[in-house]
Chains A and B, each alone.
Chain A
Amino acid sequence: MQLNDTALGSVAKPARYTGGEWNMIQKDPAKVDVRFALVLPDVYDVGMSNLGLKILYGILNERTDTYAERAYCPWPDMEAVMRSSGDLLCSLETHTPLQQFDAVGISLQYEMTYTNILTMLDLGGIPLLAADRSGNDPLVIGGGPCAFNPEPVADFFDCFVIGEGEEIIGEIAAVIAEWNQSGRAGGRPEVLEKLARIQGLYVPAFYHVDYNADGTCAGVKPKRPELSSVIAKRVVADLDGAYFPVRPIVPYLETVHDRIMLELFRGCTRGCRFCQAGVIYRPVRERKPATLMRLAQELTDNTGYDEISLVSLSSADYSCLRELAHSLLAEFAPQRVSLSLPSLRIDSFSIELANEIQKVRRSGLTFAPEAGTQRLRDVINKGVTEADLFEAAGAAFRSGWAGIKLYFMIGLPTETDEDVLAIAELARKVLSLSRNPARCKVSVSVSTFVPKPHTPFQWFAQIPAEEMERRQRLLRGALRDRRISFNWHDAPTSRLEGVFARGDRRLGKTLLEAWRNGARFDGWSEHFRADIWDAAFAASRIDPDFYTVRQRAAHEIMPWTHLTSGVSQEWLAAEWVEAQKGSLTQDCRHADCTGCGVCQDLGVSVIDWRA
């Protein structure tokens, strides 16, 4: 059912809830075997910017037996309206309540969206706990980066996809189609049983978690012998031949990434030790320049966008970037389509390229040195020197950019006050490189490091919230210059993110409690309520410090040890040792294999068209 005019007329940005965009897929739901709702548990403006769901939407809708629709989280104003009117959360395509779908696929991009999942399930008329769902309730399926440790939300999901979705999504649709055709013989247990046989699919209810007396995890073990004890991620071996959506939906509302996203390659093997994406998306697999040219033209024709963003974890590392950029410019500048390169490397090549492709010096350039001192950059394996940064910043100023943004983290392992203060020093030095420092602006953005699963820093004790705030104050005091702007992340949010990032299944009750007491959109500072979370931890008898500020022992079994990215725990542990020595590990894309294990374990290889 569609929301009525009174409801839509009383909320901000009502077009978030009405759909009908260009390229939206319309099918007759009565003529398909499987109905999927694809969900990103954040507001439309954010959710519509997610590339992963655009891919899955395209793949599922290419199947004649399946119809995939979309739903995003209602903003609190709309949630209030729906609760008072009793309207159920519906898909944007056919206005079907979520409870009527066969499957609800939820993308887990960020821990701070977890309460929104509960909002959406509840408003969609779906029982929150997987254990409470029965015959006709949808299968709730999670995927995305946070599915690499899904334990804190395991109670709310029927299953999770570990790794890349391009291939497995069709396998899941086929199982559900067959189950539906059989009149749902055997009920939910039967379909979950079949889904669990798909490689890369994890059914948490089929696994039992044991804990030690000290509260640490003793193991997550299958309840039946036929289930795998370790679930390896799915990975697309041939990205160049993989599906890429050339008819993405073009929203009316301006979304966070309101432009063509052209994915140059997947994976990054630079090996920054804090970075989870650098581990879970291994190995690097590039698309061919010719493929990208063809995709770019189809995307331009089909969307009407006037900007192509070259996206990847580190786009400047694309082996054929110069040739590709030149070809794209030659082809698209006459069509009045511009290019943008969102992730710059800190070197003069990047600046040169940015100059060539960005004729209009719009927003300033962004660099991410991540840490203030060379020592600490070596600890995190960020292979960038101060000289690199000065060279890049100098070149940027000389080419007329008036602003530079610098991204750093505080709270990295082994960080001292000296490292924190060095951030201010670095910002000042960058500013002084400008020929006209009075008119130039440097902005310093400092996030707080949150240790993530499947990284060399997964054992590390996160710094306490008070310490985060002390270091932020220290830095703020050292950055008293009106040409340098400074912004940072709220410590309580970083702490909560830390709890859920490395949390275990016991956190499900904390999450439910916090949500019941009103926690919503926790990643948005205007909505985050630390008091609700403090009360929820107390009520569920969970000590958040157990998950955050506790250093894990080397031999500790992590709540995600039964899920693997293909990168071995031994390699991660070795990297942790190297980090503490400040010793660098090279990029296997250009140098020898570093033995992380992903290629050997999953039967894939690095694909770099230059190599």
Chain B
Amino acid sequence: MEKFRIALKKGEAVKYVGHLDFGRAIERAFRRAKLPVAYSVGFNPHMRLSFGPALGVGIASEAEYVDVEMSEAVDAKQFSRSLSEKLPPGLVLVAAQPVSSNASLAAELNLAAYQARTTGLVGAEQVAAAEAAVKRLQQSESVTYLRRSPKGIKTMDLKNYLVGELETEAAAESFAVRFWLRMTPGGAVKPQEVMRALVEQFGFPVGDTAYCRMALRAETNAGQKTAFEI
């Protein structure tokens, strides 16, 4: 059966839509587009869609991936055009390619790049404090973070999840921090948790922070691959 892999941008306007609701919105877009999506068999058939790693509520994304199986062959251009027209505002189709791979997006994509853009920092002093906080986190051997949930407190070392260097960019109205996080079978760290650690443990100034997932990659023995390469 033919399968398309699509990349979608999830904009600011829809970043508070949760993973399940996002999935339902995609299904409805396919229905409106009248594309011949394949369904599972059984008493309660559902569309054969599979999604990449869930994106946290409140995080925009430059690249969310979905695999969709078709029940009949569809021209790639027509597929893109039909779907694009029927996506709700804020969801934008970036790419669509037929794929033959059976790799699971959720299992293979295990690296995520995030950007945390903070507004409301006042003056050069706060920007300097932000720079210094990021530098000190970068230099720390370990960063202990206590995740509090109804189930209890979990102690995590953020450094086990942070991959590579944190980058910063100070602009006129905002201060951005960019970093890569590893998703493991044992768990993952949210970008909000990295920022909270920066604020609570390293003196990063408090502002209003907007998050965006900039990229997803698969880290393999053969190096990093994009979603369209796995």
Which of B31, B39, B90 has the most chain A CB atoms closer than 10 A to its own CB?
B31
- A599 to B34 CA separation, bound complex (whole angstroms): 45
Inter-chain contacts of B208 with A (CB < 8 A): 4-6
Chain B interfacial residues counted at CB < 8 A: 31
Nearest B residue to A21 by beta-carbon distance?
B88
Chain A CB within 8 A of B127 CB: no
Inter-chain contacts of B58 with A (CB < 8 A): 5, 8-9, 14
CB proximity to A under 8 Å, residues B11-68: 13-14, 16-18, 21-22, 24-25, 27-32, 34, 39, 43-45, 57-58
Inter-chain contacts of A17 with B (CB < 8 A): 16
Q: Assuming A15-B17, A18-B16, is B210 touching A304 (CB within 8 A)? A: no
Chain B CB within 8 A of A22 CB: yes
Chain B CB within 8 A of A360 CB: yes
Which of A15, A250, A254 has the most chain B CB atoms closer than 10 A to its own CB?
A15
Which of B18, B27, B34 has the most chain A CB atoms closer than 10 A to its own CB?
B18
- A9 to B118 CA separation, bound complex (whole angstroms): 14
Q: Which of A9, A252, A336 contacts B25 (CB 8 A)?
A: A252
Inter-chain contacts of A250 with B (CB < 8 A): 25, 28, 88
Q: Taking the nearest CB of chain A, how far is it from the CB of B21, in angstroms?
A: 5
- A18 to B34 CA separation, bound complex (whole angstroms): 28
Q: Taking the nearest CB of chain A, how far is it from the CB of B55, in angstroms?
A: 13
Taking a contact as CB atoms under 8 Å apart, the answer to whether A5 and B210 are in contact is: yes
CB proximity to B under 8 Å, residues A6-49: 6, 8-9, 14-15, 17-22, 24
Chain A CB within 8 A of B178 CB: no
Inter-chain contacts of A535 with B (CB < 8 A): none
Taking a contact as CB atoms under 8 Å apart, the answer to whether A304 and B29 are in contact is: yes
- A98 to B57 CA separation, bound complex (whole angstroms): 27
Q: Taking the nearest CB of chain A, how far is it from the CB of B33, in angstroms?
A: 8
Inter-chain contacts of B39 with A (CB < 8 A): 336
Chain A interfacial residues counted at CB < 8 A: 27
Inter-chain contacts of A5 with B (CB < 8 A): 58, 208-211
- A250 to B14 CA separation, bound complex (whole angstroms): 13
Q: Taking the nearest CB of chain A, how far is it from the CB of B22, in angstroms?
A: 8
- A366 to B14 CA separation, bound complex (whole angstroms): 37
Q: Assuming A8-B58, A15-B18, A20-B88, is B31 touching A304 (CB within 8 A)? A: yes
As a 0/1 sequence over residues 106 to 145 of chain B, the CB contacts with chain A under 8 angstroms (1 = contact) are: 0000000000000000000000000000000000000000
Taking a contact as CB atoms under 8 Å apart, the answer to whether A360 and B44 are in contact is: yes
Nearest A residue to B13 by beta-carbon distance?
A20
Q: Taking the nearest CB of chain B, how far is it from the CB of A562, in angstroms?
A: 46
Q: Assuming A8-B58, A9-B58, A15-B17, is B192 touching A303 (CB within 8 A)? A: no
Q: Taking the nearest CB of chain A, how far is it from the CB of B146, in angstroms?
A: 19
Nearest B residue to A362 by beta-carbon distance?
B44
Inter-chain contacts of B17 with A (CB < 8 A): 15, 252-253
Q: Which of A18, A253, A305, A336 contacts B13 (CB 8 A)?
A: A18
Q: Taking the nearest CB of chain B, how far is it from the CB of A256, in angstroms?
A: 15
- A253 to B21 CA separation, bound complex (whole angstroms): 6
Taking a contact as CB atoms under 8 Å apart, the answer to whether B31 and A252 are in contact is: no
Q: Which of B27, B29, B43 contacts A360 (CB 8 A)?
A: B43
Taking a contact as CB atoms under 8 Å apart, the answer to whether A304 and B28 are in contact is: yes
Taking a contact as CB atoms under 8 Å apart, the answer to whether B32 and A302 are in contact is: yes
- A324 to B28 CA separation, bound complex (whole angstroms): 25
Chain A CB within 8 A of B89 CB: yes
Taking a contact as CB atoms under 8 Å apart, the answer to whether B16 and A22 are in contact is: no
Chain A CB within 8 A of B159 CB: no
Q: Taking the nearest CB of chain B, how far is it from the CB of A371, in angstroms?
A: 36
- A306 to B31 CA separation, bound complex (whole angstroms): 8
Inter-chain contacts of B32 with A (CB < 8 A): 301-304
CB proximity to A under 8 Å, residues B172-202: 192
Q: Taking the nearest CB of chain A, how far is it from the CB of B115, in angstroms?
A: 13
Inter-chain contacts of A304 with B (CB < 8 A): 27-32, 86
Could you pull out 24 A-B pairs where Cβ atoms are within 8 angstroms? A5-B58, A5-B208, A5-B209, A5-B210, A5-B211, A9-B58, A15-B17, A15-B18, A18-B13, A20-B13, A20-B90, A22-B28, A250-B28, A250-B88, A252-B22, A253-B21, A254-B24, A304-B27, A304-B29, A305-B28, A305-B31, A336-B31, A359-B43, A360-B43
Q: Which 6 residue pairs across A and B have the least CB separation, nearest first? A: A304-B28, A304-B31, A14-B16, A22-B88, A304-B32, A20-B13
Please list the residues of chain A having a beta carbon within 8 angstroms of any beta carbon in chain B. 4-6, 8-9, 14-15, 17-22, 24, 250, 252-254, 301-306, 336, 359-360
A21-B88, A336-B31 known; 16 other A-B pairs, CB under 8 Å? A5-B208, A5-B211, A14-B57, A17-B16, A18-B13, A19-B13, A22-B25, A22-B28, A22-B89, A252-B25, A304-B28, A304-B32, A305-B28, A306-B31, A336-B39, A336-B45
